[in-house]
Structure 1
Amino acid sequence: MTGKNMKVVITPEEIRERVAVLGREITQRFNGEPLVVVCVLKGGFLFFADLVRTIDLDLELEFVRLASYGRGTESGELVFSKDVETTLKDKNVLIVEDIVDTGHSMDFLLRTFEERKPKALALAALVDKYERREVDVKVDFPGFHIDKGYIVGYGMDFAERFRELGGIYELVE
């Protein structure tokens, strides 16, 4: 990428270990009850795929698509372009997101799902950049806390590139 280099922030091994821990925590939290796990596309797909395989519960897998970034690094308008295909009423629901920074997207999604009256609603995020919060959003199952830098890999992108990387990298000039 012209003018940018990548610095390793989190290795694939560190991600695997943390995802396994999160799977155990989620299994304990929902204590044998069925769980609807909702992947936020596109960025959450790798984390979601690895995470659901570590959760020892009866799972129903769903997908939503929210877009808060355009083709670069600047936040854009929020778009809710794909919704879940099942009812959430009286069900345990876990949203799986790649990164929560300002909180606007997850605030929107959590409020939208809360209106559907789930039994329980929780949020797992691979990366929690809580220092950038503009909206009060709690990540119930945070993977890693990163306070600065533009990161890519493991589902996260820059202009639709670098999602396939197994680790998390910071783009640096």
Structure 2
Amino acid sequence: MNKIGEVLFSESEILERVNDIAQEINNDYVNKNICFISILKGSFMFASDLMKQIKPDCEMDFLSISEFEGKSSTGQVQIKKDIDISIEGKHVILLENITNTGLTLNYLKKMLLARGPASVKIACFLKRSSIEKENIKIDYQGFQIKDNYLVGYGLDINQKFRNLKEIRHLQKVRK
């Protein structure tokens, strides 16, 4: 059984960091159109808050993938829903809520690069400190975290707790 634990990042801390990321992106893409691709389901809150801060003339699409069952990675990325728009010649920013292994982002970046965009960058709200050994570059990062299991702000456990405005630790409770 799981219990929601203490707050790791408050709503105000989250929104402040999202604003910082948006400003970095706006500065990097002056007079350039950006195509954001949000990885569902987890990044929807990050994507929504970020898009409110981005200058006009951007596109948005969604990918749905599967790598996890419950709390365990299957080690294989499966595309459940691909993007609907062409990204050829466009500047793409892939939006992810958390980097656990780097497998998903490496796979998706290679897949998107094969479609001929001008560039592909990654904005990831949470990056695990253990991911340093993976060969994945996060271009825009929210917070670095340890290997604790977290819920809220799009993060879930068995599809629950995504709706929390803050990010909290998840605790195991013995019966």
TM-score range, shorter chain: over 0.9
**Aligned counterpart, 1:9:** 8
Trace 1:31-110 onto structure 2 (pairs within 5 A): 31-70=30-69, 72-76=70-74, 77-110=76-109
For 2:169 and 2:91, the matched residues in 1 are separated by 34
CA shift digits 1:26-52 (9 cap, x unpaired): 011111211101110000000000001
- Is the Cα contact below 8 Å between 2:22 and 2:53 reproduced in 1? yes
Tell me which residue corresponds to 1:154: 153
Q: Give me the whole-angstrom Cα distance separating, in 2, the residues matched to 1:7 and 1:131.
A: 22
- 1:9-37 deviations in whole A, cap 9, x for unaligned? 10000001000111110011111211101
Local SS of the residue matching 1:102: coil
In 2, Cα distance between the equivalents of 1:129 and 1:142?
Answer: 11
d(CA) in 1 for partners of 2:145, 2:132: 12
Q: Is residue 170 of structure 1 aligned with residue 153 of structure 2?
A: no
8 Å Cα contact 1:19-1:143 kept in structure 2: yes
* CA drift at 1:130: 3.8
Report runs of 4+ in structure 1 exceeding 2 Å deviation: 2-5, 132-135
Using the TM superposition, give the Cα deviation of residue 85 of structure 1 relative to its aligned residue in structure 2, in angstroms.
0.9
Cα distance in 1 between the residues matched to 2:113 and 2:159: 30
Do the aligned residues in 2 keep the contact of 1:7 with 1:172 (CA within 8 Å)?
Answer: no
**TM-score calculated relative to the size of structure 1:** 0.94
- Whether the 8 Å CA contact 2:2–2:170 is kept in 1: the answer is no
Q: Deviations over 1:73-92 (max 9, x none)?
A: 11123211111111111100
Q: Describe the SS at the equivalent of 2:39.
A: strand
8 Å Cα contact 2:4-2:168 kept in structure 1: no
Matched residues in 2 for 1:131 and 1:143: separation?
16
- Matched-pair contact (CA < 8 Å) for 1:27–1:57: no
Aligned partners of 1:110 and 1:22: how far apart in 2?
A: 20
Q: Secondary structure at the match of 2:115?
A: coil
Instruction: Please report how far the alpha carbon of residue 132 of structure 1 lies from its aligned counterpart in structure 2 after TM superposition.
Output: 3.4
**TM-score (structure 2 length as normaliser):** 0.93
> Structure 1 stretches of 5 or more lacking a match?
none
CA distance in 1, matches of 2:85, 2:4: 42
